[in-house]
Amino acid sequence: MISQYIKTYGCAAPDYSYLGAVNGSTRIARQAMHTSGEHIHIAVFPTVHEMHQIASRHYAFEGRCFVLAVGLILRSGDLPLQPIANLHDKPDELVLRGGSCIIAPDGRYVVEPVFDEETIITAQLDLRVIDKEKMTLDVSGHYHRPDIFEFKLRQQE
């Protein structure tokens, strides 16, 4: 059941969310996250390559939330004992290149993607921007058309 992978963590402020396993690739799963009232979505990828960048920017734009897209730096020397054949002589060769970034609710980068280096990215996020952006598109509000559509998430106890 998909609801076991959907988590929204309420804090004093802001609310943040993480969608495990199915990530943000399924429209109905994204709707569940957007309806939860998330302010910050954490999207974890092996590496945030170009298509994951596009998907993360779309998620931010559609949900009018900030997205922290997280990608892993992995060198061939970090692999288990049986390394990939063509990389065993190159322990510093990058297998996964990172690509972590922070995206605003309008789809623009707050912090551009960082590739090929281990670093910690940070930013001050102005949560007031979310309300401003929702005035033009709110997929869980009036654009959701509750007069026509009904969305229900079965919560697992």
Asked if the model's pLDDT at residue 117 lies above 50, the reply is: yes
Strands 16-19 and 40-44: parallel
The residue whose two tokens read 């495990």 is: 20
70 contacts: CB under 8 Å, gap ≥ 6: 42, 43, 44, 45, 48, 100
Burial class (CB in 10 A: 0-12, 13-18, 19+), 40: buried
Q: What is the CATH number of domain 2-144?
A: 3.60.110.10
Give the residue extent of every domain in the chain: 2-144
Token code pair at residue 108? 């623009």
Residue 20 has pLDDT above 60, yes or no: no
pLDDT band at 114 (very low <50, low <70, confident <90, very high): very high
What is the percentage of the chain residues whose pLDDT exceeds 70? 72
pLDDT tens sequence across 22-65 = 456 677 777 777 777 788 999 888 999 999 999 999 999 999 99
CA–CA distances in Å: residue 3 to residues 8, 19, 32, 114, 137:
11, 9, 9, 32, 25
Burial profile 66-102: b = 16 or more Cβ within 10 angstroms, e = fewer:
bbbbbbbbbebeeeeeebeeebeeeeeebbbbbbbbb
pLDDT at 70: 94
Supply φ then ψ for residue 142, to 5 degrees. Answer: -65, -25
